[in-house]
Structures are given as C-alpha cells and as structure tokens.
Amino acid sequence: MGGEIKVTFAAIEQAAADIDGARARILGQLDDLRGYLAPVVSGWTGDAATRYDEAQRRWDGSAADLTGTLQKIKVLVLDAGAGYRAVEADNAKRFTA
C-alpha cells in the first residue's frame, strides 16, 4: 500500500506558524479568564479560596502541559521540514553531479 506524500515547504512553515498561533491564543484566553475571575476570586476566603487555588493550580498545570506539547509539535514540524529540505537538496545534487 504505497501512498504518495506531497510536501511543500510553505505548508510546513504555515503549519508551524498555525500551531504557534494556537498556542498564543490559548495563553491569551487563559490570561483573559484569569482577569475576569480575579475580582470574584479576590473576595473568597477559607475553604472556597483554598479549593479554588487547588483547582487553579491543576488548571495551570494542564494548560502548561498543553502549550508545552504544542511547542514540541511545532519543533517537530519544523524539524521534519528541515529533513525534507535536506533530502530535496541531496536529490538536486544528483542531477548536477
């Protein structure tokens, strides 16, 4: 089952930029959410404040995992693009040697 893969360098670069853009949007939305919640949360005390802080720490950890994974994916996409470029250059050399 051989299939054909068509790779364009522009598409790889765009994919990496899209991943980075998604990561930035997620971080921005999380910052916005914290800003919206801050006035409400600031009035909480006792068990409510403690439980919210615990939930926020879990949320922050999950968000860091997600955005870190997106960053790793972006790097892998760019690395794949570099690999494709290297193969393309090697193939071009075969015709000029």
pLDDT-based confidence at residue 5 (cuts at 50, 70, 90):
confident
pLDDT tens digit sequence for 18-77: 999 999 999 999 999 999 999 999 999 999 999 999 999 999 999 999 999 999 999 999
Burial class (CB in 10 A: 0-12, 13-18, 19+), 77: buried
Asked whether residue 3 is domain-assigned, the answer is: no
The CA R_g of the chain, rounded to the nearest whole Å, is 22
pLDDT, residue 74, reads: 98
pTM: 0.81
Higher pLDDT, 30 or 6: 30
Asked whether residue 2 is domain-assigned, the answer is: no
Asked whether residue 18 is domain-assigned, the answer is: yes
The Cα–Cα gap between 81 and 84 comes to 5
CATH number at residue 13: 1.10.287.1060
Asked whether residue 1 is domain-assigned, the answer is: no
The Cα–Cα gap between 79 and 82 comes to 5
Quote the number of domains for the chain.
1
**What's the domain range around 78?**
9-96
The Cα–Cα gap between 82 and 84 comes to 5
Asked whether residue 88 is domain-assigned, the answer is: yes
Asked whether residue 92 is domain-assigned, the answer is: yes
Asked whether residue 84 is domain-assigned, the answer is: yes
